Amino acid sequence: MQALLSFEQAPPFAAPLRFFLTAPLFAMLAGMLLLWTGPGLLASRWTPAALALTHLITVGFLLQVMLGAMIQILPVVAGANMLRPGLLASLVHAAIVPGALLLTAGFLTFQPLAYWLAAILLGGGALLFVGVAGHALFVVPSTNPTIRGLKLSLPSLTVTVGLGGSLAAGLAGSLQLPLQQLASIHLTWGLVGWGVILLATVAFVVVPMFQITPPYPAWFARSFAWSLLTLLCCWSLVAGWQWPGGALLAGAVVLHVVAFAALTLHVQSRSKRASFDATQRLWQVAMLCALAACSVWYAGTTVPELDDRLEWLCGVLALLGGFMSVTIGMLYKIVPFLVWLHLQNQGAGRVLAPSMHKVIAARQIERQAQSHFLSLALLLAAVVWPEWLAYPAGLAIVLANGWLLRNLLAAVAFYRRHRLRIAAVASADGTRR
């Protein structure tokens, strides 16, 4: 997979960085929302505050990091050069950020205008990205599983956005829709069709490259995205029309997630590194939480009379434990790599870029990862004992993501210091000549 990389095609540093720096702020808002509403937020996943918190994480945090990562990955990994990536990033970011805030406001205030504006901004920003990325990507031959997976992730994002826009119109009172049924399909497309397919596609490259593991089996990498997307389409039709067989198809979708998580843990166990660092532990925790979320989902389907809190447990394990953990782990690899890459390009052989490991102090990464694990544990416990632990969990989420933001800003400061040093060396060379 490393042979695919084409570093000279990397977009401007600011293009993905704006998404990465904004994402922790939304996670902090999610923690503040839990502090504000308290235990009542955890009464049901359908409460307005619960829906707002869920979308602060999914749209505000995860979507932003994923879009920023794709702006970097498409030209470097797939050779898909997007037209004016800096302008694209500015426009998409300018739409996604207020769109996520308006969607949160819509859930909390039930104002139809907030829902409509959120749908326009989020839908417009996401579809602009899909259009530009799709135009760049679909002219690239599908010569490997990574390119195929990236191509399949874009239609999944489109379906997710389309369903979300329909739900927003329904909540605004403009359409009569089966909201809970449609919401479940929207959630599944967002987490599985968009999230899992994109995560697996990226994992096929970054896990062997950064964690020094054997590659994923070729047959698995080749068939995973197509197989999962096919099952998801079939399940959506069956669930939408309430035909028989929905549970069987849903189980097959979940088994694909189990297979990916288990296989990732397996290849990680064969890493050539002497000891695991914080980013590898974040990946491990993410995969373990994914397996736990699938187990909780299965328990809820086989024993329907179990407490409704299983839905919350499944959601916390999937979002904070699975997606957020792996996303944080990827940020700690992507951002230092981008700092090194752009400093190396600017140095032009005259000034060598510092090692990636110096961009963010390992101790700070370790401590922030521990704070994230603590926030995850507290939120899981708060699902069971909300009166006691809802407020500590909210505070822990705020602190963990504030720490993440601090570490990312430290990387930006590191980049600026060394860019000035490169400029000084270039100026001195010019003076001597």
As a whole number of angstroms, the distance between CA 51 and CA 334 comes to 30
In a domain, 343, yes or no: no
Instruction: Name the amino acid, one letter, at 36.
Output: W
In a domain, 124, yes or no: yes
Enclosing H/E stretch for 160: helix 145-171
* Token couple for 7: 């570093």
- Residue pair 200/225 in contact (Cβ under 8 Å)? The answer is yes
As a whole number of angstroms, the distance between CA 130 and CA 134 comes to 5
Instruction: Name the amino acid, one letter, at 223.
Output: S
Give 194-230 as a DSSP string. IIIHHHHHHHHHHHHHHH--PPPPHHHHHHHHHHHHH
The residue to which tokens 């907030």 are assigned: 114
In a domain, 405, yes or no: no
Decide if pLDDT at 9 tops 70.
no
Instruction: Name the amino acid, one letter, at 44.
Output: S
Q: What percent of the chain has pLDDT over 90?
A: 73
pLDDT at 240: 86
In a domain, 30, yes or no: yes
- Residue pair 403/368 in contact (Cβ under 8 Å)? The answer is yes
CB < 8 Å & 24+ apart, contacts of 53-57: 54/315, 54/319, 55/100, 55/103, 55/104, 55/107, 56/26, 56/27, 56/29, 56/30, 56/100, 56/104, 57/26, 57/27, 57/30, 57/319, 57/320, 57/324
In a domain, 330, yes or no: no
Task: Summarize the confidence of residues 303-324 as an average pLDDT.
Answer: 87
DSSP 8-class letter at 2: G
* Confidence label for 53 from pLDDT (cuts 50, 70 and 90): very high
Total domains in the chain come to 1
As a whole number of angstroms, the distance between CA 286 and CA 203 comes to 12
* Token couple for 310: 């299983």
As a whole number of angstroms, the distance between CA 12 and CA 84 comes to 10
Decide if pLDDT at 203 tops 60.
yes
Decide if pLDDT at 374 tops 60.
yes
pLDDT at 8: 58
* Confidence label for 215 from pLDDT (cuts 50, 70 and 90): very high
In a domain, 239, yes or no: no
- Treating both helix axes as pointing N-terminal to C-terminal, what angle do 197-211 and 246-269 enclose, rounded to 10 degrees? 10
Decide if pLDDT at 6 tops 60.
no
CA-CA-CA-CA dihedral for 377, 382, 383, 384, to nearest 10: 100
Nearest CA to 197 among 158, 228, 223, 219?
A: 228
In a domain, 129, yes or no: yes
Which tens digits make up the pLDDT trace of 137-182?
Answer: 988 888 888 899 999 999 999 999 999 999 999 998 887 888 888 9
In a domain, 114, yes or no: yes
Residue 75 lies in domain:
1-187
Which tens digits make up the pLDDT trace of 84-96?
Answer: 999 999 999 999 9
As a whole number of angstroms, the distance between CA 258 and CA 287 comes to 9
